[in-house]
Chain A
Amino acid sequence: GAGVSQSPRYKVAKRGQDVALRCDPISGHVSLFWYQQALGQGPEFLTYFQNEAQLDKSGLPSDRFFAERPEGSVSTLKIQRTQQEDSAVYLCASSLASREVGYTFGSGTRLTVV
């Protein structure tokens, strides 16, 4: 597609519910990143894929967070047993393999846990 597509755009979850957030990157982009952005803050790194390999998951805040990219294109970020502190915007970005390029971000999924 023309850009990075994320769905759903908004998600309201009851505390304890599991959620799955989807990211469809730009075709041909090898690298895929997930970030979490709280209100008034910059994006915080969660995890990074190169093709289907998850090369860095150091930013995932707990073992309730899990990400996958099984075929090297679409990625899913799953949050189990959601808690109020998980409320944030979850941004997905993709880029070409080179380090000398900017990232293309999606519009994000705003998750509200009530």
Chain B
Amino acid sequence: SQKIEQNSEALNIQEGKTATLTCNYTNYSPAYLQWYRQDPGRGPVFLLLIRENEKEKRKERLKVTFDTTLKQSLFHITASQPADSATYLCALVAGYSTLTFGKGTMLLVSP
């Protein structure tokens, strides 16, 4: 069956460190992979999109990698700040551009 797996345990890191979140998938051939941020009581907010033929994409302090052989994407936040604390969702694009989401990983950045 198709699965998108993200660490269910919260990731706790100290301010200034690099946070690395993992997204693994099985039985998908995604054309695109997207990362979203979700704060409590709010809808997800789009961060980055990476195509299957791209290895890496950057945006300010964010970096996403996409390895279609390992079926894995890594999401990095460098120089993390307490304001980066949120749940981060990985999502794959399949079919008629409908997104399929993972369960998300909560990131907690302490000062």
- Count contacts between A and B, CB distance < 8 Å: 59
Asked if B111 CB lies within 8 Å of chain A CBs, one says no
- Chain A residues lying within 8 Å of B51, measured Cβ to Cβ, are 100
Distance (whole angstroms) from the CB of A17 to the closest CB of chain B: 24
Cβ of A107 under 8 Å from chain B: yes
Number of interface residues of B (CB under 8 A): 27
* A50 → B minimal CB distance (Å): 8
Given the contacts A105-B43, A105-B45, A107-B42, A99 and B103 also touching, CB distance less than 8 Å: no
Is the pair B49, A106 in contact by a Cβ cutoff of 8 Å?
Answer: no
- Of A42, A107, A108, the residue contacting B89 (CB under 8 A) is A42
Which applies to chain B's interface (DSSP): helix, strand, loop or mixed? Answer: strand
**Residues in B whose Cβ lies below 8 Å from that of A108:** 42-43
B residues apposed to A, CB below 8 Å = 4, 31-32, 34, 36, 41-47, 49, 51, 89, 91, 93, 95-104
Subset of 28 A-B contacts with CB under 8 Å:
A4-B43, A31-B97, A33-B98, A33-B99, A35-B101, A41-B103, A42-B89, A42-B103, A43-B44, A43-B89, A44-B101, A45-B98, A48-B96, A56-B95, A56-B96, A95-B97, A99-B31, A99-B32, A99-B93, A99-B97, A100-B32, A101-B49, A102-B34, A102-B46, A102-B49, A103-B44, A104-B46, A107-B41
